[in-house]
Amino acid sequence: MYKMKYYSFLLHLLCSVSGLILSAQGHTEKAISPSPEYDACIDFYRTLEKKHKTIKVLEAGPSDTDRPIYLVVIDKDGWTSAEKIRSAGRAILMINNGIHPGEPEGIEATMMLAEKYLKDQALKKLLDSVSIAIIPVYNVGGALLRNSHTRANQNGPSVYGFRGNRNYLDLNRDFIKCDSRNAQTFSNLYREWEPDVFIDTHTSNGADYTYNNTLLPSQRSKLSPGIRTLLYDSMIPYLYREMKKQGDPLTHYVYPVRETPDQGIAGFMDSPRYSSGYAALHHALPFLIETHMIKDYPTRLASTYRLLDLAINYTAKNARLIRNIKYQAFLEDQKKDSFCIRWKHDPSRCDSIEFEGFESEIAYYPTLDIRMHRYDRSKKYNRRVPLFDYFTEEIKVSKPDYYLIPQAYSDVVDRLRWNGIELIRLEKDTMVEAEYYEIKELKTPAQAYENHHVHTQVQVNLRKMKYPYHRGDYLISCKQRKVRFLMEVLEPQATDSYFAWNFFDAILQRKEYFSDYLFAPTAEELLQKDPELLKKFEARKLDDPDFAASPSKKLTFVYEQSIWSEPYFRVYPVARIRTEHLK
């Protein structure tokens, strides 16, 4: 009893001290930093909600802490139903803030924007044709890890959040694999709201140049034709033109081909692990705002505000067109016979853009004993630089009529559900003859990346065979609206497939094997009785000296050709079913 009382007292004391430290820290932060704290941000929106009928603060779902992820909806009628908003003909623009809470200007700029739109009658008129859905702070755990040091090169604010969440994950790599509760909440949220325009706010590291802000749209090559034309030929030129009019010119996201931008800027393939790549699967107009971290925080904040304001204006003025083109993109997906699931950069093609930067020179640091380029801000240049922003199709696959997946892969099934994929359960046990992938080769890094050892360069054989399925397994039609998402996660060669993210790794390891001395006489007999097998065996010995010298490799070769070899080793357990297979 004494020990229990002592531990209770100790716990109470610890919590009290922690509370004092946090309170004092929070008070100091508010005094010296313009970067909003999570609780202050949510309180700000709740205060607006009390004053204005057109804004609602909704609890969207759990985050990586005990504090939830919120969704703030600004709608003309105060509606909180995406279905009702769409039925009224309004477009939905979603702003995702604080995915990297050390890049906080989007959080604060959106707070300023919301207040302005609720008070300014001219701006409120835009709400006739657009509703704004705001995730005030997506990475809640990272936002609570406030500090002044982890953004080594960033020019303010003095206190900010941390890039990783409480699981130490970069949430802008988590949209497909959904390791975090944040991403699980986001998937359900996105399925419900399915925005027409999606904007993620960031701060960019890297090269030095004159611009306050850069734009990173989803890679044009993989967008549907209508979305690509609207985004690249209409919306982006509008944003560039209007930002320049306001004295805050915009440029392409600066991703230097080599060390400095004047040598060329590379395009970025935003696969579905990233927010914009994920939104592209759902045919939004997606882009990232990437302010320049070397500029001071007030400048970055003002620039983010301008760009968000212009994006809302464009969406409002083109709401019907945006909605129609998105609708057509989903229809086109259902008519397609094949989809590209992996892209590769095309270095042979480039455009050029006008770019205003600083000359660089090589500096020597004697104590470090290194030479490195540095920028000279007294030597400004304005010239055209190459933009390598073309990608070509690397792997394109035909669309089956159905996929079939065992219910045992519940983690995959959950993710399909969260993303609105329609599933049909089998009513009885069935041996299904269909197309199956046999995994032949792949590259897997030794170092984990965001909790996974992501497979790349996956090579497969497509074979027709039978595979057992059971009552309750899931049949998935490819005639449904979100077939593009479906194929990019279920085709194992896709860049961000569930196979690539290790959800099926158990098939890569044998479960049954043989004892060499016991199997040797059996293997000898098999070779003597099967001339074709013997022919393959002898050819392999001639072609591969290591094979010829290895008893283990020779026995394994024969074992793999025998009836004793397990039939489903390295067979991807998701069937590709053609309609004729069902007859």
* Residue 30: per-residue pLDDT: 34
Rounded Cα distance, 495 and 279, in Å: 16
Q: What is the mean pLDDT of residues 563-583?
A: 89
Rounded Cα distance, 541 and 115, in Å: 76
Does the pLDDT at position 16 exceed 90?
Answer: no
Q: What is the mean pLDDT of residues 311-328?
A: 98
Gyration radius from the chain CA atoms: 28
23 band by pLDDT with thresholds 50, 70 and 90: very low
Q: What is the 3-state secondary structure (H, E, C) of 449-494?
A: ECCECCCEEEEEEEEEEEEEECCCCEEEECCCCCHHHHHHHHCCCC
Per-residue pLDDT tens for 213-228?
999 999 999 999 999 9
Rounded Cα distance, 156 and 148, in Å: 9
Q: What is the mean pLDDT of residues 63-90?
A: 98
Rounded Cα distance, 226 and 326, in Å: 8
579 band by pLDDT with thresholds 50, 70 and 90: confident
Q: What is the mean pLDDT of residues 369-393?
A: 96
Does the pLDDT at position 25 exceed 90?
Answer: no
- Is beta strand 213-217 parallel, antiparallel or unpaired with respect to 250-252? parallel
Closest CA to 119 of 213, 52, 166, 196: 52
Q: CB neighbours of 447 closer than 8 A, spacing ≥ 6?
A: 453
* Residue 13: per-residue pLDDT: 31
Share of the chain above pLDDT 90, in %: 92
**DSSP 8-class letter at 235:** I
Rounded Cα distance, 423 and 414, in Å: 11
* Residue 63: per-residue pLDDT: 98
**42, 170 in Cβ contact below 8 A?**
no
Half-sphere exposure of 571 (CA within 13 A, CB side): 19
Domains of the chain: 33-335 (3.40.630.10), 351-392 (no CATH), 398-510+573-582 (no CATH), 516-560 (no CATH)
* Residue 162: per-residue pLDDT: 97
Closest CA to 170 of 455, 501, 450: 450
Our CA angle for 379, 388, 261, nearest 5°, is: 15
Per-residue pLDDT tens for 399-424?
999 999 999 999 999 999 999 999 99
pTM for this prediction: 0.92
Does the pLDDT at position 170 exceed 70?
Answer: yes
